[in-house]
Structure formats: C-alpha cells, structure tokens
C-alpha cells in the first residue's frame, strides 16, 4: 500500500481551563487529519512533513507525532525558530476566540527544507496532502520554491491532494490567496474543498458551483463538503450526491473537515469506493463535532469506525 505525507504546520494549543490555568496540547489541520486517518486505518503509513524548532515543546510535539503513529523522518528542526502557538478562550456566552503566535514560526521556513531527502522519501503513487493553511504558512518569498518542489514531487509520481481551508486572516489580500489556490487546484489530482472556502474568494455559494470551478482544472477526484448538507463528488465526469445526516448534538465543529479528509483518504487508500469512503468520513466528522477541541478522545472512535 502507498504512504501518505501530511505537509503543513502543527501548533502548540493552549486552552483555558480556569482563570489561571491552561491545558496544553498540539493541533493543526494536517496533523488532525493524520491522527484521524490513523485511528480508523491503523495500517496506513502516514508521515508528517513540517518544520519545528529545537525547543522542548517542539521535541514534545515530535513525540506526540510518534505517539499518534506518524513517521517523523521529514520533521525538520530549525536552529533558531520555534513551534507556532495559539490560545483558545471561551467567553461567558460560550463564544470561542483564537489568538495566534505563528508569524515567525519554524514552519514558515518549511519550503527551504524540501530537498532531495524529501524527494527520495516518495514512491510513485504516494499521496501528499496539503491545505490552504499549509500554503499561507509558507513565507511568501518561499512560495515559488515551494511550487517547484511540489512540481518535482508530482513528476516523480506523487499524488497531490489539496483542501483550500481558507482562513482570510492568514493572507495579505484575496488576490494573494487566489493566486496560490488557483495554482494548487491546477496541480492537485484530488481536491477536498468546502463550499465556505470558495464563497469568500470566488463568490461560489453552493457545492455544484465548487464542482464546476474544479471542472475547469484537471482534477481526477473532487469531494465537496458543506457542513450538515449533502456532500457532492466528481469522478470521471460523474457527479454524485451523498446524504449527510445532520447531527443534533453539535458541541464544537473544530476539525470536522480535518477528520473528514483524513478518514476519506485512508478509506480510498484501502480501495474503498468514493461513496463508502464519504460515508465513513462523514461518520468520523460527526463523532468529532460531538466533542470539544480538535482531537476527540480515542474512545469515541472504537465502535463501527472500521470499514
């Protein structure tokens, strides 16, 4: 079976527990996806591709990757920079707010680490998953280098998987984000966008519109997420609806899309068809939204999460 590489940034997460204490963990979109893939498909070989510092928390993050069963051979350590950090605060009304310290994180230098070692780690057919957050994190002056490296990986047979995961505040302008997204969509063989990602940037407001946008690129497989609404897929020119059962017990939707992506890709790597893979991915996402935080407890995944 092929291997999957998750490229992007994982951060130190601080979540307030009371006035003077915060609980520390690690989270980040591509890492979350990898964790959920591994939970449901333990035999799939998964690797993180990221840059961290040499600080103690970075070392603990590498340990967290290992505990999640992820290969850390392509986790690079920057000698002078540190891991990014964010804090989650919840106000009296239950509204969450996020504060980030990531503008000078080690992950912003990731493109500079993508050398021959990375290229030689890939075998034809291996997947490389990256997101719009991964793109935004890579320092703007390094992005051309990043596209070149990505192109070389694709030429070597890597299958590029892209989720736009648009976060407006990570981009200097919508034009900057659009340029990067157009480029990513034009290179990706698999795309896993959400309707929300494309509405702000392209004025596309429904799943059908997202499919049409993707059809203007040469993408083999497209799966469009839309919260509790149906998922639409496109494969070999064929568009299909997949019903989602809206969950009535939503606690926190953080990382629903990440869980969906990880489990969907794990299922496809296990040769499940698109319909069955979406059903499993939706089931995982539905579990995740019933728990607070990016990573739901392991025990929540014990029942019925195997194909």
Footprint on this chain of ligand ADP (rule: CB under 6 A): 194, 196, 225-228, 231, 244, 246-247, 250, 253, 256-257, 260, 282, 285-286, 289
CB atoms within 10 A of CB 22: 13
Q: 3-state SS of 17-72?
A: EECCEEEEEEECHHHHHHHHHHHHCCCCCEEEEEEECCCHHHHHHHHHHHHCCCEE
Q: Smallest distance from the beta carbon of 231 to ligand ADP, in angstroms?
A: 5
Return d(Cα 118, Cα 217) in angstroms, integer: 27
Q: Smallest distance from the beta carbon of 197 to ligand ADP, in angstroms?
A: 7
CB atoms within 10 A of CB 93: 5
Q: Smallest distance from the beta carbon of 79 to ligand ADP, in angstroms?
A: 34
Look at residue 75 and give its three-state secondary structure.
Answer: strand
- Indicate if 258 belongs to the active site: yes
Which of 91, 252, 258, 271 is catalytic? The answer is 258
Sign of CA dihedral 70, 4, 86, 143: positive
Return d(Cα 71, Cα 91) in angstroms, integer: 38
Q: Smallest distance from the beta carbon of 259 to ligand ADP, in angstroms?
A: 7
Looking at the Cβ atoms of 147 and 202, the one nearer to ligand ADP is 202
Q: Smallest distance from the beta carbon of 289 to ligand ADP, in angstroms?
A: 6
Q: What angle do CA 291, 244, 209 make, to 5 degrees?
A: 115
Looking at the Cβ atoms of 76 and 166, the one nearer to ligand ADP is 166
Looking at the Cβ atoms of 209 and 227, the one nearer to ligand ADP is 227
Looking at the Cβ atoms of 71 and 163, the one nearer to ligand ADP is 163
Q: How many helices and strands (H and E) does the chain possess?
A: 11, 13
HSE-up of residue 160 (Cα within 13 Å, Cβ side) = 22
Across-strand partners of 240?
233
Residues annotated as part of the active site: 258
């Amino acid at each position: 079976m092929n291997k999957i590489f998750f490229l992007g940034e994982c951060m130190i997460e601080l979540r307030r527990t009371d006035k003077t204490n915060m609980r520390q963990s690690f989270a980040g979109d591509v890492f979350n996806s990898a964790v959920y893939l591994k939970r449901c498909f333990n035999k799939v070989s998964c690797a993180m591709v990221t840059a961290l510092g040499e600080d103690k928390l970075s070392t603990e993050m590498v340990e967290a990757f290992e505990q999640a069963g992820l290969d850390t051979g392509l986790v690079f350590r920057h000698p002078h920079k540190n891991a990014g950090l964010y804090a989650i605060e919840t106000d009296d009304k239950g509204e969450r707010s996020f504060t980030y310290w990531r503008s000078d994180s080690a992950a912003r230098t990731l493109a500079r680490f993508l050398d021959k070692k990375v290229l030689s780690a890939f075998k034809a057919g291996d997947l490389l998953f990256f997101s719009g957050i991964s793109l935004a994190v890579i320092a703007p002056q390094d992005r051309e280098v990043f596209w070149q490296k990505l192109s070389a990986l694709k030429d070597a047979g890597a299958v590029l998987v892209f989720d736009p995961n648009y976060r407006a505040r990570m981009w200097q302008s919508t034009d900057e984000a659009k340029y990067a997204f157009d480029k990513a969509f034009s290179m990706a063989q698999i795309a896993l966008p959400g309707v929300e990602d494309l509405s702000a940037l392209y004025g596309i407001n429904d799943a059908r519109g997202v499919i049409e946008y993707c059809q203007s690129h040469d993408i083999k497989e497209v799966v469009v997420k839309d919260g509790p609404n149906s998922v639409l897929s496109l494969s070999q020119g064929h568009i299909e609806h997949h019903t989602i059962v809206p969950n009535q017990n939503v606690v926190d939707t953080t990382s629903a899309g990440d869980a969906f992506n990880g489990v969907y890709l794990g299922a496809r790597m296990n040769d499940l068809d698109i319909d069955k893979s979406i059903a499993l991915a939706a089931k995982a996402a539905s579990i995740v939204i019933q728990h607070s935080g990016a990573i739901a407890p392991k025990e929540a995944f014990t029942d019925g999460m195997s194909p």
